[in-house]
Amino acid sequence: MAEEKTAARAFPAEVDEETIQADLERYRQKALEMGATDARSISAHWVTVDERVRLKCAIPPCPNYNRCGYCPPHTPEPDFMRRALARYHWAVLFKHDVPTEETEFDRYYPYGRQHQRKTDEIAARLETAVFADGYRFALGLGAGGCRDTLCNGGLCQMLDSGRCPHILMARPSMEGVGIDVVDLVNRVGWTMYPVYRTMDPSVVPCGISVGIVFVH
């Protein structure tokens, strides 16, 4: 089904506080309409980039490490991301809950792929809505490796030929660019548990998948 056409706003020279706050609330509501369990407008200055987050992609190596064009070591370096994200003032952080029985940790986890893809879809669609309102630097980041969610764990065409077949949907994860997601989750009052192969699911109420869209 074709997407509904929407009207675009001109790129503004400046954005007043009343407009940005009204827009942030509208984007928060849009995230919920798109399937997020919860969404918050936050100060972008809450976002911290930590080299240790990116290090966890490499040690022990994630199956997508160096196998996906939007995963480390192909993502921007932490110093670059730290400088770039410091230029933003506002963002929308969103999550959707993942039932404990769907947080399995098999390499080809079907449920995990579904939830990560949902996060990427919300990030991409919300980014488009924000951009259409004249926020030209809108940036959405998802969860996990898009090689899994969009290419079923197959060969990354971006690395192989430079031609990604999912160019508007594919994007780095928050962790892949070094963002400390756990710190943000704690700041907004959500709860995140570690998920690992031998965890006892009876003590984990649910998992969460988290994404963000930087607005202005």
Q: Is residue 165 in some structural domain?
A: yes
Provide the 10 A C-beta neighbour count for residue 21. 12
Length in residues, the chain: 216
Number of compact structural domains in the chain: 1
Closest CA to 124 of 149, 104, 151: 149
Q: Provide the domain limits for residue 167.
A: 17-214
Q: Is residue 133 in some structural domain?
A: yes
> At residue 215, what are phi and psi to the nearest 5 degrees?
-100, -55
Q: Is residue 3 in some structural domain?
A: no
Q: Is residue 10 in some structural domain?
A: no
Q: Is residue 110 in some structural domain?
A: yes
Q: Are 175 and 182 in contact (CB under 8 A)?
A: no
Structure tokens at 127: 């980014």
| pLDDT tens for each residue of the chain, 216 residues long | 455 667 778 998 889 999 999 999 999 999 999 999 999 999 999 999 999 999 999 999 998 999 999 999 999 999 999 999 999 999 999 998 888 766 555 444 556 677 888 999 999 999 999 999 999 999 999 998 899 888 888 999 999 999 999 988 999 999 999 999 999 999 999 999 887 777 777 788 888 999 999 999
Q: Is residue 9 in some structural domain?
A: no
Q: Is residue 5 in some structural domain?
A: no
Q: Is residue 168 in some structural domain?
A: yes
Whose tokens are 């907004």? That residue is 188
Q: Is the pTM of this model over 0.85?
A: yes
